[in-house]
Chains A and B, each alone.
Chain A
């Protein structure tokens, strides 16, 4: 059912299936005839040129974001004081990705919309990638992404959050969404749009490989929504 994505952090060169997927829907060439400003360091490596296709650009941005996130994922504070939160890891990934994509100037073709805290609860997605149609800029294909973290990281945060005030709008969003878990909500969201909306569950570490990032992608999770319910919150079926 699900299409396994590459392990983006452990093997940067092999951005296989997820990017093959993107390639199916990508425009023929980036509109990158325009001159781009010179970049240094890692950005120099990502500067688009005529030979670099659109898929590669996205692939590089995601790989770079994954690598940056991995630095925090594997971080171990000798004194045990610092432990990046789930939210921080997601933000590191997104901020890195967005910085790269803006620098490469392809956001009018493949954009990334980060959800508001309320939307994250209502729709179950952390962000949504979209291949945009020109000139309308309407999404042609979308990928809603939900990040999953190691259970112990989330449990520690839940303990820490206990008793802390939650904003009114967050409470309302939780009330609206109380009948379904986050996986089901995202699958529902994608299903409501149709087959051109894919759900991507990104795993920031998994039990037997805590230092890498994995993903599973499908536009047909609804076929197995019972499994989502019975196995939550671990998604161990992946």
Chain B
């Protein structure tokens, strides 16, 4: 896995120069820890207070990978059913998903298949997915084994991590892996059919070189 490097200290106004922009979504049942996961990654912060996300929200984080600046627009979705219409509207154009369940909540694991179907229904075929079993710091309350998670991920064709937003376990790695998968997919698509990725939904190009139109994308 190629390492990505965080870019910190962006001030007001943001940085408009970037080579790629990836739209990512975090989805999964309510209270599995999606918002905490994003806060840990974007702000390196954690609070145990639970505030249910209303509708949808997002954060932006820029990472470097092989000298390319990649802007991640990470959408945090509400897990409750009542928000399903609004959240699925944002699936369109997403290049990657983190599908999250809670290792202490069997129901959230049981819902993974349904979430996977939602991705297939509302997203595009090339979207990459990482399955994340969150709250792995709560070993004593575990009801979903690591093997069950891994097996399900294999069956669905997803990568798999167990994570903890609280203890900062595998948070960065999950995002890095997802970015790697998206980059690999882009390169692969360019090798086979450049036309496929020229329509990549949110890969945004700078004024300079248009990487998506160059064969052998090396992000």
Contact = CB atoms under 8 A, between A and B. Distances in A.
Q: Do chains A and B interact in one complex? A: yes
Contact of A113 (B51, B56, B58, B89): B51
Interface string A25-56: 00000000000000000000000000000000
A189 B78 CA distance: 13
B15 interface: yes
Contacts of B68: none
B75 to A, nearest CB: 10
A119 B56 contact: yes
Contact of A115 (B15, B54, B89): B54
A165 B13 contact: yes
B86 interface: yes
Pairs A-B, 4 closest by C-beta atoms: A168-B14, A165-B13, A192-B85, A192-B86
A77 to B, nearest CB: 28
B54 A172 contact: no
B86 A189 contact: yes
A119 B55 contact: yes
Interface of A: 113, 115-116, 118-119, 122-123, 125, 128, 137-139, 165-169, 171-173, 189, 192-194, 196-197
B60 A113 contact: no
Contact of A169 (B60, B82, B83): B60
Nearest to B60: A169
Interface in B2-25: 10-16
B52 interface: yes
30 contacts: A113-B54, A115-B54, A116-B57, A118-B57, A118-B58, A119-B54, A119-B57, A122-B56, A123-B55, A137-B52, A165-B12, A165-B13, A167-B12, A167-B13, A167-B14, A168-B10, A168-B13, A168-B15, A168-B16, A172-B60, A172-B73, A189-B86, A192-B83, A192-B86, A192-B89, A193-B83, A193-B85, A194-B82, A196-B82, A197-B82
B12 A166 contact: yes
A137 B15 CA distance: 39
Interface residues of B, number: 24
Contacts of A137: 52
Given A139-B80, A166-B13, A192-B85, A122 B55 contact: yes
Nearest to A123: B55
Nearest to A116: B57
B59 interface: yes
B208 to A, nearest CB: 19
Residue of B54, B56, B80, B83 ringed by the most chain A CB atoms within 10 A: B54
Contacts of A168: 10, 13-16, 60
B51 A171 contact: no
B200 to A, nearest CB: 17
B14 A189 contact: no
A125 B12 CA distance: 23
Contacts of B60: 168-169, 172
A212 B83 CA distance: 34
B10 to A, nearest CB: 7
